[in-house]
Structure 1
Amino acid sequence: MSSTSGTTRSPGPTLAALAGAQFTVMLATSIVNVALPQIRAGVGLSDSGTTWVVNAYGLAFGALLLAGGRAADLLGRRTVLLGGLTLFGAASVAAGVASSPGILIAARAVQGLGAAAIAPAALALVMDLFPSGPGRGRALGVWGAVSGAGGATGVLLGGVLTQALGWRWIFHAVAIGAFLVLAAAAAFVVRTSVRESGRFDVLGTAAVTLALTALVWGLTTARRSGWTDSQVLGAFAVAAVLTVALVLIERRHPNPLLPPRLFGAGRVTAGNVLMALLGSVWIALFFFLPLYQQQVLGSSPLLTGLGQLPLAAANMLGSTLAPHVSRRIGATATVTAALFTEAAGLLWLSRISARGGYLADVLGPSILIGLGLSIAFVQLTALSVEGVDRQDSGLAGGLVNTTRQVGGAIGLAVLATLAGTATARTATHQPHLDALTAGYRTAFGISAAVLAATALLAAGLTRRGGAPAAEAPDPASTTVPTN
């Protein structure tokens, strides 16, 4: 059961504030990538500690998204959004002034906790603000634009700030952005909210959070220690046991964390499966591409960041076009074409050379990838929340973000292992830069194959009669919700 109250407001400023929240979360995901060498020297990080500057954020974010989405449904989306932004901003300040590896890594984990509250609450508020129809399609286009632009801008801003002001300013900048968005959300997101009655599923939340933590930790550790390491295998075993426990807990709980009705709505299951596969390539792209630019092409952090601008521009263009394309050719054709477009860009990247250049090897593929990625993201987000009851919209937002994050962790771990193997094999008979390039080519080539297979899968999973997911009319929704 849900309840609403309040007064209608103009949706434009509210959408801008919510999009700003999503942009900030995505920015924090990628802004540290270019600055890792400077961060390592600045606080005395080891090799494993440097890795955990990235992993601590992603681990907390991915593991707690479902809990954040459920909390938003039960406690109120505005309340959870504002609380998440406050925690996120405070943790960013702590990271910026950290003087030891432990404090920095802990601050990054708390950042991830705040992000896990922000992302599902903000997406649920967007869904409530725009009922199913053309308005929601346009809103999700904005959502896709800021999501992709946030990742690309993080690389650019990280390079600019690191080179001009020092690595600490990447965290100060995120903190400033978080507090500005907090002020905007407090001003424009109304106080009332949709809330579901019922008890919070504490055991189910603990089981899924710990299972995802064990899984993501095992995957990230496997990149460094290998897939047969005893700690990695132990983490996978714990994740499997906790997953079984989750199923048993959910069967008995009157208000389960993952109610069966969620997966019976629309094309939620199809959208989440495809989003996990898209995520497996997405996160790896922003990991390997800056490495190729810096380690092989010799670009500075600033030039590496500037090199992401065409991708970001293509991403924003694709997100704007996505609802219009979907109206014209339908959701299934749109998703399939977008995934094939991104696959073509990654296949092009798989032909990079150790003696190449940005214009010849990176620019063209970046534009194709940006267009395909953004359109696919908008449509798969729409599919993943299609037909969901308003009382479950926070949970649906948490679920689609979780599948993207977990898919990304799995994809990055597997691709990093395969790229490392290709580099090691090539290093026995070719120069160092050629060996590195061989590894990156392998990662991009396999990513292209994964997306091509995902496109074929999408053609079957998303096919259904009716209007496209992002544009389907909803006769029951005749007014703008007020939360």
Structure 2
Amino acid sequence: MSTHTDLRRGPAAPPRFTAAERLALAVLLTANFTLAVDFSILNVALPRIGQDLGFATAHLQWIVTSFALCAAGGTLFFGRVADVFGRRRLFLAGIAVLGAASVAGGLAQGPALLIVARVAQGVATAMVTPAALSLLTTLFPEGRIRTRVLGLNGALMAAGFTTGAVLGGVLTGAVSWRWAFYVNVAVAAAVLVAGPFVLTGGRAQRRPRLDAPGAALVTLALVAVVYGITAAGESGWAHSGAWGVLLAAAALLVVFWLVENRVSEPLVAPSVLRRRNVSWGAVAGLLAFATETALVFLLTLYLQDVLGFGAVAAGLALAVLGTGTVIGGLAASRVIGRIGARRAMVAGFVVQAAATLPLAFAGESSGWIVPLLVLTFVGGAANLVVIVGYAVTTTAGVPDEQQGLATGLVTLSQQVGITLGTPLLSAVLAARLGDGLLPGLRLAMGVDAVICLAAALLVAVALRTPDREPGRPASSAPARSSSR
């Protein structure tokens, strides 16, 4: 790998990649894009899957929930496994699991096999995502090079969420929902052929013991968190089932923290969590994902149930938001390079809030569609600046041997944020439904804007970055080799 001497040329020199780095980037970004597609590709197909395989309507949500539970629950564990046993090895193993699970899902003739396949896809996601991200953060040195790479990754993942919804509908209507699984098989095969030749990523020179009690506790706790949030979204936040599970999750996390402070080789080193850029960066990422994914849910209701748009037209309108997120991801590296990751996150949250707040006054007239498209485009772009900023911040200053853990926290905040946002603002919406759908939507979108402003204040006050702002060029620092 190159030594990236362009880091010493000052801010005018654009980051350059060697041919080997471009190939590694292509493999890793393709894998992450595919996993982002998987989060949304089956949503449109759920009714058809239910008809074909005999799912009861009440049980269709488990096609999505089983995937989310495993993807979030195993993230920290596999992030640490990547550090201990090798990022490249875990990445390729996860891709193989994804391919096998996708074959099973595509061939499923009943609910049981499909759910097993979705569980395996969730486990594969928990394996691949932190491994791929830690490969990116160790292959490319901290600074403008890494910021640009994380910007590309954020843009492609944002595009993946949008592409998944569109592709799922097209495949279901034109061919079969089974091709939503088979697409993964083709991608997995290509990555498994190319990956061993273009990826590097060793493991720790001394293999420490893997903290089995810590792994079991944190996995159970995270599964309980995601399940509790999902149950709250279905039954309401006052439902005892949701609160009981969330309280159990909190108790498990307390026990986990006590265990991690006592074992000699913890799964999650408390010293890493005490880094304010890691802990508060992950919180900021959670809020960024929660606010934007919840807004997409609210806008879907507004476009179809208030303005009367059909599903296809509503999807095209939301694609404008998706386009904004892609552009925001591509522009994030320049923004962060100019003002630093912390300031970029504060500015991004403020702009996102400013773009969301007018939607709290949306009316029933179809004339609202133009300002809605403009506002969601701007808000989506700002949101991706925050997301790239938190990925840069959370991994900054962390030793290479702990990058799997740091990127596991990045991935965890993403998945919990996606899971948390919609049920939280659904509860706000439900509180005003007695006055009608539009007043409820207005209140929920106003709350979304307030959360963005609160997140901006939180980042400004609580977040502390390493001595040199992540993403800012270091004109005098010697370049660090990216080879591993």
Same fold (TM over 0.5): yes
Q: What is the distance in 2 between the residues matched to 1:46 and 1:362?
A: 36
**1:455-476 deviation digits (Å, cap 9, x = unpaired):** 1211222356854312354947
Deviation at 1:66, TM superposition (A): 0.2
Give the residue type in structure 2 aligned to 1:314.
Answer: G
Partner of 2:65: 55
1:481 maps to 2:479: no
Contact conserved, 2:339 with 2:472, CA < 8 A, in 1?
A: no
Q: What is the distance in 1 between the residues matched to 2:361 and 2:214?
A: 46
Partner of 1:232: 242
Q: What is the distance in 2 between the residues matched to 1:310 and 1:422?
A: 28
Partner of 1:43: 53
Which of 435, 459, 467 lines up with 1:426 in the alignment?
A: 435
Partner of 1:376: 386
Q: What is the distance in 1 between the residues matched to 2:54 and 2:365?
A: 33
1:283 maps to 2:285: no
Which of 232, 236, 247 lines up with 1:222 in the alignment?
A: 232
Residue 263 to residue 191, structure 1, CA distance change in 2 (3 Å): closer
- Which region of structure 1 is more displaced relative to structure 2, 203-212 or 253-262? 253-262
Partner of 2:81: 71
**1:135-184 deviation digits (Å, cap 9, x = unpaired):** 11111111111121111211221222222223222222233333333333
1:366 maps to 2:376: yes
Give the residue type in structure 2 aligned to 1:70.
Answer: R
Secondary structure of the residue aligned to 2:261 is helix
Give the residue type in structure 2 aligned to 1:35.
Answer: A
Give the residue type in structure 2 aligned to 1:394.
Answer: G
* Identical columns (%): 35
Contact conserved, 1:73 with 1:196, CA < 8 A, in 2?
A: no
Contact conserved, 1:426 with 1:438, CA < 8 A, in 2?
A: yes
Partner of 2:447: 446
1:116 maps to 2:126: yes
Contact conserved, 2:348 with 2:382, CA < 8 A, in 1?
A: yes
Q: What is the distance in 2 between the residues matched to 1:384 and 1:151?
A: 22
Partner of 2:13: none
Partner of 1:103: 113
1:310 maps to 2:311: no
**1:302-355 deviation digits (Å, cap 9, x = unpaired):** 444433433233222222221211222222321111111222232233344445
Q: What is the distance in 2 between the residues matched to 1:221 and 1:144?
A: 29
1:160 maps to 2:161: no
Residue 415 to residue 44, structure 1, CA distance change in 2 (3 Å): farther
1:245 maps to 2:276: no
- TM-score, structure 1 normalization: 0.89
Q: How do 1:390-401 residues align onto structure 2 when only pairs under 5 Å count?
A: 390-401=400-411
- Which region of structure 1 is more displaced relative to structure 2, 218-227 or 180-189? 180-189
Partner of 2:265: 255
Residue 465 to residue 108, structure 1, CA distance change in 2 (3 Å): closer
Q: What is the distance in 1 between the residues matched to 2:212 and 2:479?
A: 32
Give the residue type in structure 2 aligned to 1:481.
Answer: S
Q: What is the distance in 1 between the residues matched to 2:407 and 2:189?
A: 23
Q: What is the distance in 2 between the residues matched to 1:415 and 1:470?
A: 33
Which of 312, 319, 328 lines up with 2:338 in the alignment?
A: 328
Which of 80, 89, 97 lines up with 2:99 in the alignment?
A: 89
Residue 426 to residue 99, structure 1, CA distance change in 2 (3 Å): farther
Deviation at 1:77, TM superposition (A): 0.4
Deviation at 1:42, TM superposition (A): 2.9
Deviation at 1:90, TM superposition (A): 1.9
Partner of 2:457: 456
Indicate the RMSD between aligned Cα atoms, in angstroms: 2.5
1:171 maps to 2:172: no
Q: What is the distance in 1 between the residues matched to 2:272 and 2:57?
A: 42
Deviation at 1:202, TM superposition (A): 0.6
Partner of 2:14: none
